[in-house]
Chain A
């Protein structure tokens, strides 16, 4: 196996467009997934008991089977219930929903990790429930769950490769296709491995930087 750099440069526009699709779907699905996950966690904590059970089921189902199957069900099964989606929206929605289940579990643990006393102190000075959620729980939790969120984002960037199966023109599909056409499939996979790894390292580095920035907000001795 020898990487043909001439070929890589020749196909650069396609490769870049695949990289771009991977990046934006990843970022948008991570953000939306985290937001949805937060809402799920908050609803489970503050909502009525039946809502908690319903959302628990939602989380359990999504965590209980592979993303690939979920994506197939959404993309190929959707039309049976009148849900006809293009590949990119299907991929984005599927990844967001999948991510929300994991993010909701991260935030649920985060809620519990904020010391009760911090909430009680807020109650004592008269903050309302929603003010406590916004001003105390959300920011404190963010610091506590940041490492797990970065970890989840890293898992998600690798899951985006699965979107190639429903023909989302992301990195794996584009580079894989080039590799097949040029009879250099293994080279293409090798290149992909490097690309994903670089993205993961960048994400990890950004996460560590953010953590370092937030470290002074950590709890003191108490």
Chain B
């Protein structure tokens, strides 16, 4: 993937490793509390570049919160997150002192991350193409025509070029989610985050979205996917992270994580999916 974003090169004075060798995302000691509840209790997670990492875990374990911290929709209360070596939101000095980075810096690091939500979150007053082009025109200051060409290319990537002029209300849930993926792709992100992208879809529509994600994974894009689709995680995920009660219990290849002997908490978690037949895909 090529990008024109000047922010890609690490800062000259940055002590972080060079972007080419740094992981796509490095989460170090991240904690998050909401009021008195400690939702994330010191997470260390490395998301390798060019691979698909699936984040699984029981409901309420903190998966969405971790993903939202990486998207900077929530601010971690402890620890650091780096994107290809560049700190996100806060810089941490050697003595553990965290300082907030400038808004411009935050926005430029953030613009390298694409996010896909469970609820799609398309803007209802814009067409599919309008949704995809919005940031290209407003943020990247691209010419309308150029942006639309690029937007169409992204829509065809998710198989929806024939729906470009449709409004979200005129699209099925699966199509809306694919438009949302195209919208995230249009900015040429270095990493795409997905928070249960198929959870609010009718079962017969999940396939089309998972197929698009499979294609993206195959094209060498870096994906971090929170999912309850254990079958997808086991077959597409190259790295599996299992979160439980705000801690990262397991992290490894699908074989390492799902293979016998299973961690008792994972076994217990998977049992709840046996009923749905998902675990039989393992």
Binding site for B on A (CB under 8 A): 115, 117-118, 120-128, 131, 135-136, 139-140, 143, 216-222
- Residue positions of B touching A, CB distance < 8 A: 71, 73, 107, 110-111, 113-115, 117, 119-125, 134-135, 138-139, 167-171, 173, 176, 180, 183-184, 187, 200
- Given known contacts A124-B110, A126-B135, A140-B124, is B171 in contact with A222 (CB within 8 Å)? no
A126-B139, A216-B170, A221-B173 are known contacts. Are A135 and B117 too (CB-CB below 8 A)? no
Once the chains are docked, how many angstroms separate the CA of A123 from the CA of B135? 10
Please determine whether B125 and A125 come into contact, CB atoms closer than 8 angstroms: no
| Chain A residues in 8 Å Cβ range of B122 | 121, 220
Q: Cβ of A124 and Cβ of B115 under 8 Å apart?
A: yes
Residue pairs across A and B with CB atoms within 8 Å: the count is 87
Partner of A120 from B73, B107, B138, B169 at Cβ < 8 Å: B73
Q: Which of B121, B139, B169 contacts A216 (CB 8 A)?
A: B169
Interface centre among A117, A126, A127, A217 (most CB of B within 10 A): A126
A176 to B110, CA, bound (A): 65
Tell whether, in the assembled complex, residue A124 and residue B113 are in contact, meaning their CB atoms are under 8 Å apart.
yes
Q: How far is the CA of A37 from the CA of B205 in the complex (A)?
A: 43
Q: Is the CB of B123 within 8 A of A121?
A: yes
B176/A125 in contact, CB under 8 A? no
CB <8 Å contact, A136 and B169 = no
Asked whether, in the complex, the Cβ of B73 is within 8 Å of the Cβ of A123, the reply is: yes
Chain B: minimal CB distance from A213 (Å): 12
**Which among A121, A128, A140, A216 is the interface contact of B117 at CB below 8 angstroms?**
A121
Pair B183/A117 contact, Cβ less than 8 Å = no
